[in-house]
Amino acid sequence: MVVSRLQYIRRRLLLAVPIIFFIIVLNFLLIQIAPGDAADVLAGEAGSATPEYMDQLRRKFGLDQPIYVQLLTYVSNVATFDLGFSFRHNKPVSELILSRLGPTLLLMVSVLLISVSMGILLGAIAARYLNRWQDITISTVVVLTYATPVFWAGLMLIVLFSVKLGWFPTSGMEKIAAFHTGIARIIDIAHHMVLPVITLTLFYIALYTRLMRASVIEQNTMDYVTTARSKGLGEKRVLWGHILRNACLPVLTMAGIQAGALLGGAVVVETVFSWPGLGLLAYESLFARDLNLLLGIFFISACLVVLVNLAVDLLYASLDPRIELK
Amino acid sequence: MLAQKIQKFMSLVFTFGLVMLMTQQVSAQAVPKASPTVTPQQGGTLVMVVQPEPPTLASFLSTAGPVGQVATKVYEGLLEYDFKLTPQPGLAKSWKVSPDGKMITFKLQENVTFHDGKPFTSADVKFTVLDVLKKSHPRGINTFRALQAIDTPDQYTAVFKMSEPAPYMLMALSGYESPMLPKHIFEAGDVTKHPNADLPIGTGPFKFVEWQKGQFMRFDKNPSYWKKGRPYLDRIVARFIADGSTRAAVLETQEAHIAGFNAVLPVDVRRLEKLNHIGMTTRGYEMQSPIVELDFNTRTKPFDDVKVRQAVAYAIDRKFVVDNIWFGFGRPATGPINSNFKANGLYTADVKNYNVTNGIEMANKLLDEAGYKRGADGVRFEITHDITPYGEEWRRFGEYVAQQLGKIGIKVTLRQEDVPAWLRRVYTNYDYQLTNNWIQTLADPVIGVHRLYHSGSIRQGTVFVNGTRWSTPETDNLMNQAAVEMNSKNRAKIYHDLQKRIVDASPIVFVHELDFVTVHNKKVQNFLVSPLGLYSTFDQAWLQK
């Protein structure tokens, strides 16, 4: 069992290599379509430039090379796990990404865990009390939160809880002027996380709740449920003991797919709350035409999505023993 | 400008009956006066909001606005400036210009050390200016073009030797424009990718501590700063917040103390200024002097015709634009030189005036004369108007222009792209007809204005130079003269002539002089001590407890 599982993981990872290679090449070519380059942006930000300065920049960035040479250099670098150098930030790409990966993962994992578990719970309750006031309340509220634009929800939370009530900080990951360490720092970060996590959760929770509700309703008509009921089990036992595990599967599939979207969707929340994450970095590097950095972020995101999907597939097998890993 | 300063000084000398120097010696008090009424309080952390996050701390390679706001706390320049735009002592305690204008002798402050303890000497000046700024600084390449050598007869003397007079050079020696670097750090290796680019070591009142990308930069007090008793603040933290509404919120909740360069959007300023703890100012940008403008592509139809360009200039109601699109932050512009230069006589309002009440009528007449008759649908011709991608207001400005030009029979389609695409279109491909834009005219016209009109500045692929590709031999000539003219009266006369000619030819519609706004907590004192504003060292800034 363990051996076959390891073999499965190894095969899946090997299969991921050509996929990721294809993604790199595609990203590289797509980015070339965008007009203007990093030298334009840097000189543009400077508000002034001389031709000598622009030439210097382009030579330094390697932008004076033909595109296929740039692509070859890039791919061969990535093959040796070298993500290149961000000239804009004057730092290796891997270092930049690693420094931003932590905050993003912290935010993402919290949001994913809370919204999936809350979604499953609320969805199950809604389905249990189908068309009664519990269901109607839950369904209405989640549609409302889903329909609210994320940036607006974020800003309103800031206005209410930071500006008016003063309960939470408006933005950032830490209290800047304090430079806390140890436990105080952890508490401080948690304090800063509350609003951004709520903002994103409000959005994603709706998705999982709706999905879970539909899934439970569907499972309810299955033969095994009828069997369980005819054995004389109570409704509670049927729902939490029998239906739940089966009904969770589509929600988990969705969560796996969403993991990639979450990285992207975080841009808005990271912007509003000034959260120093990967989404914001990607957004900025696109407008700065910082191609090495942007490609690096795409690369890491692709890897993350592959890994999350693998994890979801493994989770499937443990939730539903009938599913075999091949 | 220098000559003017000298004149003033000489008259002072005579007033006090001191007949002692026939050389053009300028010497002034070592430290500008602090606010006399209140005693500064020591200590505290000043949190400033800087927008956007600077791409680098290497202010010797990038003049990007946000870089200047942080790097100037660490690096200082040879000179500082007062509100009359006259040079004041900085790291140079005095300077002397030779009669032919080709030599400037700087005497440096003694007992100045870098943050690593090494002394600041003339060798650092020579290295910084010749090996770094003249070679790799985006504007320094131009500013120091005439500079051929720097002699260092002793540790505290640096003699600049030029091939021709360069009076504007003295306007470009602030810590923002020409930061002085430690030679012993930067001489090793390639300065354009130096490991110390983001680990700055300067002579300034604050030492760089750390930069958490995407979050903040931290600068701590330099206890051995050469100005005794300064700085007052213990620490400066620069925060980076991408969202405009959040930037307003952190000032409202007092999580941050100060935000300049319109980091708080004009729409939020009008709301925040009503709060008791918030103050705001539009001063401290006198050496930026931005002008909002409409740039024509003067090499293609229909804007190759001066009458068409003048017609567009007549069609814009400048006051309407300032009041309704920029919330009143600015004033109508008259020409290529910002009215801030009234302070040193270079500005004139005596130019062709397009800001008239019957502008639309005048514009229609000019277009008729130019031979662009209205068609059956009332349209003379169609154009695409590009919008500079620097914020919401530019889109609204574009919509206003489209509406006004509609009144004179020009049908306008708007186009908006992101920054790199727009820069490429306007300054490399010249694939545009009319674009809105804003240009900082900077500390001296030679540095900020000539680049937009001189034929030598038609440089494909270089941004913010002469993208309209308009030039005439006469205006080129005037600019060449102004660059080397030592007498301030003659220099002013040349510039008055230049302004007239450029405004007549209308290669650019000068819409308004943009006021940047600094929003600050009223606890922050003495941050505004020179026209450099947020680009000054903050050695005198303090926080009220």
Asked whether the beta carbons of B367 and B380 are under 8 A apart, the reply is: yes
Query: What phi and psi, each to the nearest 5 degrees, are found at residue A214?
Result: -60, -40
Asked whether the beta carbons of residue B193 and residue A100 sit closer than 8 angstroms, the reply is: no
Cα nearest neighbour of B240 on chain A: A274
The CA-atom distances, in angstroms, between A161 and each of A153, A154, A194, B249, B257 are 12, 10, 10, 11, 20
A218 to chain B, closest Cα gap in Å: 43
Beta partners for residue B151, in sequence order: B159
Q: Does A155 touch chain B (CB under 8 A)?
A: yes
Candidate from A49, A270, A281 with C-beta closest to B138: A49
Asked whether the beta carbons of residue A43 and residue B417 sit closer than 8 angstroms, the reply is: no
The string over A1-19, giving b where at least 16 C-beta atoms fall within 10 Å of a residue's C-beta and e elsewhere, is eeeeeeebeeebeeebeee
pLDDT in tens, A89-103: 778 888 888 888 888
pLDDT, residue B118, reads 96
Beta partners for residue B329, in sequence order: none
Question: Which stretches of A221-277 are DSSP H helices?
Answer: 223-230, 235-237, 244-272
Which residues make Cβ contacts (< 8 Å) with residue B89, sequence separation at least 6? B27, B28, B29, B30, B79, B80, B109
Torsion over CA of A28, A29, A31 and A36, rounded to 10 degrees? 120
- Helix, strand, coil percentages in chain B from 3-state DSSP, rounded to 5: 30, 20, 45
pLDDT, residue A91, reads 81
Asked whether the beta carbons of B408 and B315 are under 8 A apart, the reply is: yes
| Residue for token pair 């009528």 | B361
- Type and span of the H or E element at B480: helix B473-484
Q: Please give the angle made by the CA atoms of B124, A90 and B535, to the nearest 5 degrees.
A: 55
Asked whether the beta carbons of residue A43 and residue B138 sit closer than 8 angstroms, the reply is: yes
Question: Measured between alpha carbons, how far is B16 from B21 in angstroms, rounded to an integer?
Answer: 13
Question: Measured between alpha carbons, how far is B88 from B82 in angstroms, rounded to an integer?
Answer: 7
Tell me the DSSP string of B153-204: EETTEEEEEESS--GGGGGS-STTTS----HHHHSSS-GGG-GGGGS---SS
Contact residues on chain B for A43, CB-CB shorter than 8 A: 138, 423, 462-464
Question: Measured between alpha carbons, how far is A268 from A204 in angstroms, rounded to an integer?
Answer: 14
Which has the closest alpha carbon to B124: B96, B147, B157?
Answer: B157
Asked whether the beta carbons of residue B249 and residue A170 sit closer than 8 angstroms, the reply is: yes
Tell me the DSSP string of B49-100: E-SS--S-S-TTT---HHHHHHHTTT---SEEE-TTS-EEESSEEEEEE-TT
The CA-atom distances, in angstroms, between B105 and each of B1, B39, B152, B156 are 17, 36, 10, 10
Q: Does B142 touch chain A (CB under 8 A)?
A: yes
Q: Please give the angle made by the CA atoms of A48, A49 and A55, to the nearest 5 degrees.
A: 155
Candidate from B246, B459, B461 with C-beta closest to A170: B246
Which has the closest alpha carbon to B61: B136, B142, B164?
Answer: B136
DSSP conformational letter for B331: E
Residue type, position B143, single letter: T
Asked whether the beta carbons of B109 and B175 are under 8 A apart, the reply is: no
SS3 assignment, position A64: coil
Which residues make Cβ contacts (< 8 Å) with residue B330, sequence separation at least 6? B292, B322, B512, B513, B514, B515
Asked whether the beta carbons of A63 and A292 are under 8 A apart, the reply is: no
Question: Measured between alpha carbons, how far is B133 from B139 in angstroms, rounded to an integer?
Answer: 8
Question: Measured between alpha carbons, how far is B532 from B540 in angstroms, rounded to an integer?
Answer: 13
Interface contacts (A, B; CB < 8 Å): 188
Asked whether the beta carbons of B270 and B324 are under 8 A apart, the reply is: no
Asked whether the beta carbons of B140 and B176 are under 8 A apart, the reply is: no
Asked whether the beta carbons of residue A41 and residue B423 sit closer than 8 angstroms, the reply is: yes
Question: Measured between alpha carbons, how far is A165 from A167 in angstroms, rounded to an integer?
Answer: 6
* Token pair for B91: 């790291």
pLDDT tens-place values along chain B, 545 residues long:
444 444 444 344 333 333 333 333 343 333 444 445 678 999 999 999 998 888 889 999 888 888 999 999 999 999 999 998 899 999 999 999 999 999 999 999 999 999 999 999 999 999 999 999 998 888 888 899 899 999 999 999 999 999 999 989 999 999 999 999 999 999 988 887 788 988 999 999 999 999 988 889 999 999 999 999 999 999 999 999 888 888 999 999 999 999 999 899 888 898 899 999 999 999 999 888 899 999 999 999 999 999 999 999 999 999 999 999 999 999 999 999 999 898 889 999 999 999 999 999 999 999 999 999 999 999 999 999 999 887 788 999 999 999 999 999 999 999 998 888 898 899 989 999 999 999 888 888 998 899 999 998 898 888 888 999 999 999 999 999 999 998 989 999 999 999 999 999 999 999 999 999 999 999 999 999 999 999 999 999 999 98
A262 to chain B, closest Cα gap in Å: 19
pLDDT, residue A203, reads 87
Q: Please give the angle made by the CA atoms of A196, A201 and A206, to the nearest 5 degrees.
A: 150
- Type and span of the H or E element at A9: helix A2-33
Write out B273-296 in H/E/C secondary structure. CCCCCEEEECCCCCCCCEEEEEEE
Which has the closest alpha carbon to B66: B40, B48, B92?
Answer: B48
Q: Does A52 touch chain B (CB under 8 A)?
A: yes
Which has the closest alpha carbon to A200: A260, A143, A142, A150?
Answer: A150
Assess: ipTM above 0.90. no
Distance of CA B318 to the CA centre of its chain: 22
Asked whether the beta carbons of B41 and B231 are under 8 A apart, the reply is: no
Question: Measured between alpha carbons, how far is B263 from B239 in angstroms, rounded to an integer?
Answer: 11
Candidate from A50, A54, A287 with C-beta closest to B419: A287
Question: Which stretches of B352-472 are DSSP H helices?
Answer: 359-369, 392-407, 419-423, 445-448, 450-453
Question: Measured between alpha carbons, how far is A207 from B129 in angstroms, rounded to an integer?
Answer: 60
Q: Does A167 touch chain B (CB under 8 A)?
A: no
Beta partners for residue B542, in sequence order: B525
Contact residues on chain A for B189, CB-CB shorter than 8 A: none
pLDDT, residue A1, reads 57
A172 to chain B, closest Cα gap in Å: 7
Kindly list the strands in the beta sheet with B157-162, ordered across the sheet, starting from the edge strand earlier in the chain: B25-27, B92-97, B103-108, B157-162, B147-154
Upper half-sphere CA count for residue B437 (Cβ side, 13 Å): 29
pLDDT tens-place values along chain A, 326 residues long:
567 788 888 888 898 889 888 988 898 888 888 777 777 877 777 766 777 777 887 887 777 888 888 888 888 888 888 888 887 777 888 888 888 888 888 888 899 889 999 999 999 999 888 889 999 999 999 989 888 888 888 888 888 888 888 898 888 888 776 777 788 888 888 889 999 999 989 888 998 999 999 998 888 888 888 888 888 888 888 888 888 888 888 888 888 877 777 776 678 888 888 888 888 888 888 888 888 888 888 888 888 888 888 888 888 887 777 777 66
